[in-house]
Amino acid sequence: MKIKLICIGKPKFSFIKEGVNHFSKVINQLIEFDLVQLPDVRISKKNYEILKRKEAELLKKEFKKCSQIYLFDEQGKEYTSYEFASFIDRQILNSVKTLCFVIAGAYGFDVAIKKEYAQIALSKMTFPHDLVRIIAMEQIYRALSIIKGKKYHH
């Protein structure tokens, strides 16, 4: 199985880039992992619904390469780290070829995307979408460590 994390935009801060690079390396030691950072969408007027719709168009092109798709969204289903590990393990056991997790841009997902795909909450709190990359990647790494019996998760 391959895990893919699809994000809108690239991180703006060096500490985020360092964290993303670190977790990309350690996740790839446990499973094939790909981070896809789609370009930021630019619009002339501050109409966030149009912005989210254009982001959805970009995401849907990338979704064609996915077997299963889950959105990271604060309104999604919450898991403990062990439950999330079990969730990923079930995907592996079910022979899912490419498991894709998705992080929206700063204004969230278009309503059409949210209606179509299941959502997973990393927390009830709201985080900057750049920081969510590191949180999501750390949780993916933690889940894989639990599955593989590594000592990362005590």
Q: Which tens digit of pLDDT belongs to each residue from 2-31?
A: 999 999 999 989 999 999 999 999 999 999
The pTM assigned to this predicted structure is 0.94
Q: What is the pLDDT of residues 104-117, one digit of tens each?
A: 998 999 999 999 99
- Candidate CATH numbers 3.40.1190.20, 3.60.9.10, 3.40.1280.10, 3.60.15.10; the one for domain 2-148: 3.40.1280.10
pLDDT on residue 152: 77
φ/ψ of residue 31, rounded to 5: -160, 155
d(CA 68, CA 23): 22
The pLDDT score that the predictor gives to residue 103 is 97
Give backbone dihedrals phi and psi of 46, rounded to 5 degrees, phi first: -80, 70
Please report the pLDDT score of residue 101 as a whole number.
Answer: 98
Cβ atoms of residues 145 and 154 within 8 Å: no
Tell whether the model's pLDDT for residue 43 goes beyond 90.
Answer: no
pLDDT(56) > 70: yes
Dihedral sign of CA atoms 130, 134, 139, 140 in order? positive
Residue 153 in contact with residue 81, Cβ under 8 Å?
A: yes
- Checking if the pLDDT of 154 tops 90, the result is no
Average pLDDT, the chain: 94
